[in-house]
């Protein structure tokens, strides 16, 4: 059964790197619909793997064609050149894709910035599943409760130096799930340039109305352990190609009014972070609509007098 209790934590939190504008270092899909609250590393050096524990929740995704996820990304290339390569894995709630509102284990890949290549799980040539016991897109039945028991899944992605393939492992014992062949990539054929962890939501807004789209637990990162979603036990393999505890990383939230991110450090989880939020709530949308209407009335009044 996917989902496990998290590592032990302690109450005291420590901010450990300075806040800075790191937007240019982050892989954002620039179509105005995807929103992120993530931790990331982009230091110019090669990256050969990562491991992290992703807190599992059931965020509310009201519109069928929206989604909310928590995942790990390893990537190279740029959107400007149209050559973004990624391998991705985590959990996702996508009512249209899975016909329910349960978090499900998934993988994804692309080699041309999500334009013409890549797919979820094994829906096209790409990811090769080797496990006979772990089902891709299986529902994760053990999820966290606000102020109650917390559960997470541990994801590890690393490059095999012999074959060049990118392997995926799941769980504390790192059961092999499968691999992405090196041959399907361009930039990732050698190494990754960026690693990211955290949350993403996509709103299609197909109805033209404001729908509820939560990220993580649906609570802001500042709520902390047991209330906000976390990514902890973060390991990274860089120049020496050995997974070691992360020493430094940036954080970024595109729209902190709706989804936020906050670094933390504890004895049990090391340097980690919280992320998430409620999105644009209906009350917020109503307030915005009323404010706009009031402004128009005021303008009309002054134009008429």
Q: How do the pLDDT tens digits run along the chain, 305 residues long?
A: 344 334 433 222 222 222 233 334 444 333 437 899 999 998 767 999 999 999 999 999 999 999 999 999 999 999 999 999 999 999 999 999 999 999 999 999 999 999 999 999 999 989 999 999 999 999 999 999 999 999 999 999 999 999 999 999 999 899 999 999 999 999 999 999 999 999 999 988 765 566 799 999 999 999 999 999 999 999 999 988 899 999 999 999 999 999 999 999 999 999 999 999 999 875 544 344 334 444 444 444 444 44
pLDDT, position 163: 96
Task: Count the Cβ atoms, other than its own, within 10 Å of residue 21.
Answer: 8
The label of the residue with tokens 């409760």 reads: 145
Q: Is residue 233 part of a domain?
A: yes
Specify if 2 maps to a domain: no
Instruction: State the pLDDT at residue 102.
Output: 98
Instruction: Return the pLDDT at 34.
Output: 87
Separation of alpha carbons 17 and 42, rounded Å: 15
Enclosing domain of residue 193: 23-304
Please name which of 264, 270, 275 lies closest in space to residue 244, comparing C-alpha atoms: 270
Helix (H) or strand (E) holding 237, with range, is strand 229-237
Q: Are the C-beta atoms of residues 185 and 115 closer than 8 Å to each other? A: no
| 7 located within any domain | no
Q: Which two tokens stand for residue 12?
A: 């005291």
Neighbours of 189 (CB within 10 A): 16
Closest CA to 52 of 273, 218, 277, 266: 273
Which segments within 42-186 are labelled E, that is strand?
49-55, 67-76, 85-93, 104-110, 119-120, 128-129, 152-159, 166-170, 175-180
Q: Is residue 93 part of a domain?
A: yes
Determine the 3-state secondary structure of 182 from DSSP.
helix
pLDDT given for residue 286 in this prediction: 39
Within a domain: 292: yes
pLDDT of residue 6: 43
Q: Give burial (CB, 10 Å; 0-12/13-18/19+) of 142.
A: middle
Instruction: Please count the structural domains in the chain.
Output: 1
3: in domain: no
Are the C-beta atoms of 192 and 74 separated by less than 8 Å? yes
CATH of the domain at 39: 2.60.120
Domain assignment present for residue 16? The answer is no
């Amino acid at each position: 059964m996917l989902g496990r209790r998290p590592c032990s934590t302690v109450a005291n939190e420590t901010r450990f790197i300075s806040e800075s504008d790191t937007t240019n270092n982050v892989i954002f899909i620039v179509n105005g619909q995807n929103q992120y609250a993530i931790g990331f590393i982009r230091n110019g050096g090669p990256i050969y793997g990562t491991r992290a524990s992703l807190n599992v929740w059931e965020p509310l995704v009201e519109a069928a064609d929206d989604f909310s996820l928590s995942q790990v990304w390893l990537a190279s290339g740029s959107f400007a050149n149209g050559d973004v390569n990624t391998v991705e894995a985590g959990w996702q709630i996508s009512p249209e894709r899975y016909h329910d509102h349960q978090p499900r284990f998934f993988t994804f890949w692309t080699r041309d910035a999500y334009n013409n290549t890549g797919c979820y799980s094994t829906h096209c040539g790409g990811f090769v599943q080797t496990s006979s016991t772990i089902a891709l897109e299986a529902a994760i039945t053990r999820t966290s409760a606000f102020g109650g028991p917390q559960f997470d899944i541990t994801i590890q992605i690393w490059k095999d130096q012999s074959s060049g393939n990118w392997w995926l492992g799941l769980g504390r014992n790192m059961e092999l799930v499968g691999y992405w062949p090196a041959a399907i990539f361009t930039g990732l054929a050698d190494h990754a340039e960026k690693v990211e962890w955290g949350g993403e939501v996509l709103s299609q807004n197909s109805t033209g109305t404001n729908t509820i789209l939560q990220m993580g637990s649906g609570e802001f990162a500042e709520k902390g352990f047991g209330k906000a979603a976390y990514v902890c036990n973060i390991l990274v393999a860089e120049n020496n190609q050995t997974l070691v505890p992360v020493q430094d990383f940036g954080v970024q939230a595109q729209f902190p009014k709706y989804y936020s991110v906050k670094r933390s450090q504890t004895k049990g989880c090391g340097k980690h972070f919280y992320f998430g939020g409620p999105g644009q709530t209906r009350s917020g949308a109503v307030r915005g609509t009323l404010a706009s209407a009031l402004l128009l009335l005021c303008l009309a009044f002054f134009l008429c007098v």
